[in-house]
Structure 1
Amino acid sequence: MTAPPAAPARASVLALLAFLAFVSLGLPDGLLGVAWPSMRGDFGVPLDALGVLAATQTAGYLTASFLSGRLLRVMPIGTVLALSTLAAAAALLGFAAAPAWPALLGFAVLAGLGGGAVDAGLNAYGARHFSARILNWLHACFGVGTTLGPLIVTAVLGAGQGWRWSYVLVGTAQLGLALTFFLTRRRWAGSASAGAAPAPDPARTRDTLRRPVVWLGMLTFFVYTGVEVVAAQWSYSLMTLERGVPPAQAGLAVSLYWGSLMAGRILFGTVAHRVPLVATLRACLVTSVVGALLFWLEPTPSLAVAGLMLIGGALAPVFASLVSLTPGRVGGAHADSAIGFQVAAAGLGGAALTALVGVLSRWGGLEVIGLSVTVLAALLLALYEGFVRVGGEGVGPGQATTGPLGATQVPDRGAG
Structure 2
Amino acid sequence: MVSMLLPVIYLAFISLGLPDALLGAAWPSMYAPLGAGVSWAGGVSMIISAGTIVSSLASDWLNGRLGTGKVTALSVATTAVALFGFSTCSQFWQLCVWAIPYGLGAGSVDAALNNYVALHYESRHMSWLHCMWGLGAAGGPVIMGWALAGGSWQSGYRIISILQIVLTAVIVFSLPLWKTPAEAAGEDFTPEHRTLPQLLKVPGVPEVLCCFACYSGVETVTGMWAASYCTLVRGLDAVTAASWASLFYAGITIGRFLSGFLTMKFNDHQMIRLGQALIAVGIALVLLPGNALLLVGLVTIGLGCAPIYPSIIHETPANFGKSLSMAMTGVQMAAAYTGTTLLSPLFGVLAQNITMQLYPFFLLLMLVLMAVLSEQLHKKTAARRAENS
Q: TM-score, normalised by structure 2?
A: 0.86
Residue in 2 that maps onto 1:189: 179
Question: 1:162-212 CA deviation, whole Å, 9 max, x = no partner?
Answer: 444432322221121112112222221359779923234415334322124
Deviation at 1:348, TM superposition (A): 1.4
Out of 271-280 and 213-222, give the one that drifted further: 271-280
The structure that is helix-richer by fraction is 2
* 1:338 alignment partner in structure 2: 328
Q: 1:385 maps to what in 2? A: 372
Partner of 1:20, secondary structure, is helix
Contact 2:89 2:95 in 1 (8 A): yes
Indicate which of 279, 282, 288 corresponds to 1:291: 282
CA displacement 1:380-403 (0-9 Å, x = unmatched): 3332322322432868xxxxxxxx
Q: Does 1:119 align with 2:110?
A: yes
Counterparts of 1:265 and 1:99, CA distance in 2: 39
| Deviation string, structure 1 residues 39-84 (Cα, Å, up to 9, x no partner) | 4455455554443222211111111111111111111221111111
On the 8 A contact 1:84/1:118 being kept in 2, the answer is yes
Q: Is the 8 A contact 1:33 1:232 kept in 2?
A: no
Contact 1:260 1:309 in 2 (8 A): yes
> Deviations for 1:135-164, whole angstroms, at most 9, x for unmatched residues?
11111111111222333344555x363444
Distance in 2, Cα, partners of 1:78 & 1:53? 29
Please tell me whether residue 169 in structure 1 is matched to residue 171 in structure 2.
no
Any conservation in 2 of the 1:151–1:255 contact (CA below 8 Å)? no
CA contact (8 A) 1:95 1:104 kept: yes
Letter in 2 for 1:217: V
Q: CA deviation at 1:111?
A: 1.2
Contact 1:87 1:110 in 2 (8 A): yes
Task: Indicate which of 56, 63, 72 corresponds to 2:63.
Answer: 72
* CA deviations over 1:210-251 (Å, ceiling 9, x no partner): 12411111111112122223333444566689966455x566
Q: Is the 8 A contact 1:297 1:304 kept in 2?
A: yes
Aligned positions of 1:230-309 closer than 5 A = 230-235=221-226, 245=237, 247=239, 252-292=243-283, 294=285, 299-300=290-291, 302-309=292-299
In the alignment, structure 2 segments of 5+ residues that lack a partner are none
Aligned to 2:200: 209
Q: Which structure's relative contact order is higher, taking Cα pairs within 8 Å and 6+ residues apart?
A: 1
Secondary structure class of the residue paired with 1:204: coil
- Which residue identity does 2:115 align to in structure 1? A
| Counterpart Cα distance in 2 of 1:105 and 1:65 | 20
> Unaligned regions of 5+ residues in structure 1, if any?
1-9, 396-410
Residue 83 of structure 2 is aligned to residue 96 of structure 1: no
Q: CA deviation at 1:123?
A: 1.1
Structure 1 position 149 matched with structure 2 position 140: yes
Query: What amino acid maps onto 2:9 in structure 1?
Result: A
- Distance, in Å, in 2 between the alignment partners of 1:323 and 1:160 is 40
Q: Structure 1: which amino acid aligns with 2:324?
A: H
Structure 1 residues 165, 194: CA separation in 2 closer, same or farther (over 3 Å shift)?
closer
Query: Could you tell me whether the CA contact under 8 Å between 1:52 and 1:355 is conserved in 2?
Result: no
For the residues of structure 2 that align with 1:79 and 1:217, how far apart are their CA atoms? 28
Following the alignment from structure 1 to structure 2, what is the Cα–Cα distance between the partners of residues 358 and 335? 35
Who is 2:18 aligned against? 27
Counterpart Cα distance in 2 of 1:340 and 1:59: 14
Q: Which amino acid aligns with 1:285?
A: Q
- Residue 363 of structure 2 aligns with an amino acid whose one-letter code is L
Does the aligned pair in 1 maintain the 2:282–2:296 contact within 8 Å? yes
8 Å contact kept, 2:31–2:37: yes
The aligned length equals 385
Q: TM-score, normalised by structure 1?
A: 0.81
Q: What SS does structure 2 have at the residue aligned with 1:197?
A: coil
Match of 2:6 among 15, 32, 39: 15
Aligned residue for 1:28, secondary structure, equals coil
Residue 317 of structure 1 and its aligned partner are, at CA, apart by: 0.6
Report deviation, 1:121. Answer: 0.4
Q: Give 1:363 shift.
A: 4.2
Q: Distance in 1 between matches of 2:26 and 2:156?
A: 9
**Contact 1:61-1:116 within 8 A present in 2 as well:** yes
Residue 176 of structure 1 aligns with an amino acid whose one-letter code is: V
Greater displacement, 371-380 / 65-74: 371-380
Residue type of the partner of 2:178?
Answer: W
Could you tell me whether the CA contact under 8 Å between 2:203 and 2:380 is conserved in 1?
Answer: no
CA apart distance, 1:320 = 0.8
